[in-house]
Structure 1
Amino acid sequence: MLDKTKIGHEFPLFSTEVEKGRLRFFAEAIGERNPIYTDESAAKAAGYSAIPAPPTFMFSVDLDGPDMLPILKLLNLDIGRVLHGTQDFEYLGQIYAGDSITQKSKIADIYDKRNGALEFVVQESTYTNQNDELVGRAQQTLVYRN
């Protein structure tokens, strides 16, 4: 059974720079065809100050931390038994090329189902830009198969 005393554990804050090329690559990878996500002129013509981050980009910010998916190490999870269960996003502002985004994350809950055959870890994250504006929140649930 996973260590429920880790509920509330806060991971170290980290910041990452959002680069134009990375946003273009992300947009192409998810099949986004709107030129505002790949062309600065199109973004500005649409009223944006720079190329905006496509929806769901916040999750890729998580991968820039000092440890990739630190929850695996903290809970001693075998990655071969981990499934990505859910992912929810709340958009409170816009992330742009050139922004510096600070991610803050914690374990919000750990629970099990089917007499412990499946365990669930809920992680909540917030994303703040260089102007200390909260631009988004995310919640993901990992499923651990025992």
Structure 2
Amino acid sequence: MIHRSDLLFFAQATGQQDPVYTDVEAARKAGHRDLPVPPTYLFCQEMKEAADSFGYLEDLGVDLGNVLHGEQSFVYHALAYAGDELSFSSELAADYTKKALRFLVRTTEVTRDGTPIANLSTTTVVTP
């Protein structure tokens, strides 16, 4: 579940100045039913929801000491709000080597009651 307190903490940590992300009344005046989930927050929620968010790397034999964050991308289909129950379904979409570096691309579909909310993509770089 998306908790308001987590959204408020994220807004503060990322320096969010728009009151739509920190004040429920401002959010409602702007046409939202509650605090909207800010851009990139779903990546944090995915890690929070997973029992072991890096377990797939260990399953692939990756030494976590050799891992670099490569890239993230988000495609949004609908807004998510405080109080929403979201489901995260992930898979390894690509695993390739380029110039001695291994690239792992993990995609995640985020839904609310079966309705698409977003598609997340994370590229992890594994160094030799």
Moved more, 37-46 or 68-77: 68-77
The two structures have a TM-score, normalised by structure 1, of 0.84
Structure-1 separation of matches of 2:51 and 2:29: 36
Structure-1 separation of matches of 2:85 and 2:55: 21
Paired residues of 1:61 and 1:103 also in contact (CA < 8 A):
no
Where does structure 1 differ by over 4 angstroms across 4 or more consecutive aligned residues?
none
Moved more, 40-49 or 57-66: 57-66
1:145 to 2:124 alignment: no
Deviation at 1:68, TM superposition (A): 2.5
Match of 2:107 among 124, 129, 144: 124
Q: Which residue of 1 aligns with 2:28?
A: 44
Q: Which residue of 2 aligns with 1:18?
A: 2
Q: Which runs of 5+ in 1 are unaligned?
A: 1-16
Structure with more relative contact order (C-alpha pairs < 8 Å, separation 6 or more)? 1
The CA deviation string for residues 4-29 of structure 1, in whole angstroms up to 9 with x for no partner, is: xxxxxxxxxxxxx1000100111111
Give the percent of matched residue pairs that are identical in Structure 1 and Structure 2. 36
Cα RMSD of the aligned pairs, angstroms, is 0.9
Structure-1 separation of matches of 2:23 and 2:54: 31
Aligned length: 127
Q: Which residue of 1 aligns with 2:82?
A: 97
Which residue type is aligned with residue 12 of structure 2? E
Q: Which runs of 5+ in 2 are unaligned?
A: none
State the SS of the aligned residue for 1:54.
coil
